Amino acid sequence: MRTIIQTHELSVRSETGEPLLRDISLHVEQGERIALLGRSGSGKSLISSCLAGGLSPTLARTGEIEICGRRIRDSHSVSVRDVAAVRQDSSDALNPLVRIGAQLMLPLKRGRSRVDRKASGGACDAHVLDLLDAVGLHDGHRIARSFPAQLSGGQRQRVCIALALACGPQVLVADEPTTALDVVSQATVLSALSSNLSPATAVVFVTHDLSVASGLCQRAVVLEAGRIVEDSAMRDLIASPAHPTSAALVTEAMRRSEPVS
């Protein structure tokens, strides 16, 4: 299997020198889907930003990151062809002045050869509607004509997921992509991810909800205070969590699945 993401002693410090991420060594192979789990403030979004670009310039990063064999020196050197990101706050992830349909069309057209680009306009339109439908946005014509500000937060979040799927990336970094959604939309989005992602795409899925993660990911990486405290196969973590934070995640997921009496 080909290694797609490799970090070595990745650390991040705040402006005042406070350690926020400590010695993160992560290895993800082609097609592998890993969940980054941990309590609020444990460092999940910082790792996502390091991998997907967009780490705040006020933070100091040390250590190494390699994605698809390319060394990532700073957040500008992450290739959008390799990595697609769905950010925790999707409010400014879309271009506010471009209609949703045109934003989705861009990566679809880029993926086609110059020759068939003209002939395939209709196919792209249909593909845009299919992608919107897959993430539960069934009134695709209206959504495609809308500007981002004309959508709800949950609709925008789903457009971002459709956009990530349209990119056909080597790596998808999805930072709590379903937090703004009701449970039905959440299930739709997770199934859209499962069925529309290429089996070769590596996924880093950030959540604090183990039950959401277990449906999509084979491996779980648990963080606490900026460190990895457990890195196990998902089934092993659920059956016998090695660290107290992992055990708390398992207990919480089981409690939530109890029928309400």
Ligand X SMILES: Nc1ncnc2c1ncn2[C@@H]1O[C@H](COP(=O)(O)OP(=O)(O)OP(=O)(O)O)[C@@H](O)[C@H]1O
Q: Which residues bind ligand X (CB under 6 A)?
A: 14, 20, 38, 40-46, 56, 58-59, 88, 208
Torsion of CA 197, 203, 209, 212, to 10 degrees: 20
207 binds Mg ion (CB under 5 A): no
Minimal distance, residue 93 CB to ligand X, in Å: 16
Residue 14 contact among Mg ion, ligand X, none, beta carbon within 5 to 8 Å by kind: ligand X
Is position 90 an interface residue for Mg ion (rule: CB under 5 A)? no
Contact region with Mg ion (CB under 5 A), list: 10-18, 51-59, 83-91, 228-236:
83-91
Between 196 and 214, name the residue whose CB sits nearer to ligand X: 214
232 contacts Mg ion (rule: CB under 5 A): no
What number of chain residues touch Mg ion (CB under 5 A)?
A: 3
> Given phi > 0 = left and psi -120 to 50 = alpha, else beta, which region is 38?
left
Is-contact 22 227, C-beta < 8 A?
Answer: yes
DSSP state of 259: P
The smaller minimum CB distance to ligand X, of residues 32 and 224, is found at 224
Q: How far is the CB of 225 from ligand X (least distance, A)?
A: 8
- Return the H-helix or E-strand segment holding 85: strand 83-86
CA dist 150 and 96 (Å) reads 10
Q: Which is nearer to ligand X, 41 or 244 (CB)?
A: 41
Minimum CB distance to ligand X, residue 168 (Å): 26
Nearer to ligand X (CB atom), residue 40 or residue 113? 40
**Separation between Cα atoms, residue 152 and residue 211, nearest integer Å:** 25
Q: 51 or 250, CB closer to ligand X?
A: 51
Told to check if 45 binds Mg ion by CB under 5 A, we report yes
Nearest of 161, 201, 185 to residue 81 by alpha carbon: 201
Nearest distance from C-beta of residue 59 to ligand X, angstroms: 6
C-alpha span between 65 and 223 (Å, rounded): 18
In whole angstroms, how close is the CB of 41 to Mg ion at the nearest point?
8
Q: For the purposes of burial, counting CB atoms within 10 Å of the CB of 200, is it exposed (0-12), middle (13-18) or buried (19 or more)?
A: exposed
Q: Which one, 79 or 88, has the nearer CB to Mg ion?
A: 88
Question: Residue 203: is it exposed, middle or buried by C-beta count within 10 angstroms (0-12/13-18/19+)?
Answer: buried
CA of residue 141 relative to chain centroid, distance = 26
Mark the segment that binds Mg ion (CB under 5 A) among 68-76, 81-89, 191-199, 238-246: 81-89
- The residues of the shown chain that bind Mg ion, judged by CB under 5 A, are 44-45, 88
